[in-house]
Each structure stands twice: as structure tokens, then as C-alpha cells.
Amino acid sequence: MPRPGTSHDPQPPLGRRGSGLLPCIAISTLVLSILVGLAILIFWLTVRPAPLEFSVDDASIHGFNLTAKELNATFNLTLRADNPNHRIRVYYDSVNITVWYSDQMVAFSEVAPFHQSHRNVRTIDVDPVAKSVPLVASVVDNLKHDRSAGAVELEVRVRARIRFKVGLAKTKHYTLRAYCSPVVVHFSSSARFERNYCDVDI
């Protein structure tokens, strides 16, 4: 078959199609890749994957006690995990929640594994405890200042090992990370808490 730009080609175009094997393989490969592409497109359109969402819906601090060197406190958190997908289930095989202040981790809590069906919102109550957490002097000063101002700005992080299930097929494990910041927690229980949406990475 003469192609554009090959007019100076010393080889004349083939009169016969030879064995026909090579064009046959080329056409089959093309048809196969179009079919695979279509299958992926149809899968995508029916499943319509949507990102998982996390937010911190409530947070309060109890038993706050700060000395010159260390902190004791309990952070009562209500997180919300939203799976907006119609056809994808999510298996949370391991879930860890950490609380950070001034880039320092002050409390940790593990959540029991759970699985989430499609279009499901799950509320997770966790109470990470800071127990005799050592703090450097500058952080203690900032925290004392926040305490007298009445509110503290925290970052809540979620780290989870998850798998997805579509129909009968389960995927491999992925690591989900959610960063929720700033989570502004008031010491006074009468202050209203503003829901904070998290950045979710998978």
C-alpha cells in the first residue's frame, strides 16, 4: 500500500499481499486494543468511581492538663467517612487516627476494621489520648496561649489500608491518607464546632 511521503522509496509497492500473515496480525491487534479500550470505557461508565470523602464533624478536648514539659488530654473526635459510589464497596482493614499540634503528633488511636457498602456514610467516634506527651518549651508556650485564648488549632490525620470491591472482584491494598486541618477545637463546650473537610489521598 503506497503511503504519503514514500514516493522516493526505492522498494516498489508489493503487487501481491504475500502470505497475508503480517497485516492479519496488525488488524487483530488493532481490533483487540479497540475492544479492550471499549471494555475499560464501559466499566468506567457503569462503575463511575468517585473519590472517598472524610470530614471531622465534631471535636472536643477533655482532661486537659499542661505542665512545663508535658501534656495530658483526651481528644473526642467524630469523623465521617463517606463512600459516594453506587457500585464500589470499601474494606477498611486498618485505620489509624492521629492528632497533631504544631507539626508534632500528640495523640494516636486505632479504629476497629470495618467495611462500607455503596452510598454509605459512616460515623467514627474516636478518643485519642495524649498521655504524658513531652513537648518542647516553645510548643508549651503556644499551647498555653491557645488555652487562655479559648481554642486550639489541631490537625487530624487518618491513615488506612483499604481495598475496593466491585461486583465480586476485590482490588489489592491501597493506603488512604486524609489530612484534616485546621480543626479548631474550643475548650468551652458551649462553642459550636465547624465541620472540617479533609484532603484525601489514595
Ligand X SMILES: *[C@@H]1O[C@H](CO)[C@@H](O)[C@H](O)[C@H]1NC(C)=O
- Give the per-residue contact string, 158-197, with ligand X (x = CB under 6 A; - = no): -xxx------------------------------------
- The strand pair at 174-186 and 199-201 is best described as antiparallel
Considering CB under 6 A, how many residues would be counted as binding ligand X?
17
Residue 46 is a binding residue for ligand X (CB under 6 A): no
Residue 123 is a binding residue for ligand X (CB under 6 A): no
CB < 8 Å & 24+ apart, contacts of 126-129: 126/77, 126/79, 126/97, 127/74, 127/75, 127/76, 127/77, 128/74, 128/75, 128/77, 128/97, 128/98, 128/99, 129/73, 129/74, 129/75
Nearer to ligand X, 76 or 142 (CB): 76
Please select the residue that binds ligand X; options are 47, 49, 91, 96, rule is CB under 6 A. 96
Closest contact distance (angstroms) between CB of 63 and ligand X is: 7
Nearer to ligand X, 47 or 60 (CB): 60
Q: How many other C-beta atoms are found inside a 10 Å radius of the C-beta of residue 151?
A: 14
Contact 66, 147 (CB under 8 A): yes
In the complex, the residues that contact ligand X under the rule CB under 6 A are: 60, 62, 65, 67, 70, 72, 74, 76, 94, 96, 110, 127, 131-132, 159-161
